[in-house]
Amino acid sequence: QAQLVESGGGVVQAGGSLRLSCAASGITFNDNGGGWFRQAPGKGREFVAAVSWIGSHVYYADAVKGRFLLGRDDARKTLFLQMDRLKTDDTAVYYCALGKAVAVRTQSLYSHWGQGTQVTVSS
């Protein structure tokens, strides 16, 4: 059974940093693309960053470009999201996802999802 477990969320002051991890099990990790999405209170879930299934190209939402960095460790079956210079607008539940998504921003193309981890950025 495929399982994704996020960790690393928490409370941080604006301008601070957090590093999220997503550990995968029961899935061929290096045969999938991976993405991070987030859902702020009262809003829909939105794309944050992803590495494509084909070519391992990395993409970022405009709102996080230059501040967030996505990485993956195939040996450890782990996806990372380094978040620097955090803003209060980054407060959300962050989800990782794996799948053979050609269009990396399309949530429905990801077949596996984690349970989410809360990130709260205080002013």
**Cα 60 to Cα 70: distance, rounded to the nearest angstrom:** 9
pLDDT at res. 120: 98
pLDDT at res. 101: 86
What pLDDT, in 10s, does the model give residues 74-110? Answer: 999 999 999 999 999 999 999 999 999 888 999 999 9
Residue 42 pLDDT grade (very low, low, confident, very high; cuts 50, 70, 90): very high
pLDDT at res. 55: 85
**Cα 108 to Cα 104: distance, rounded to the nearest angstrom:** 10
pLDDT at res. 1: 85
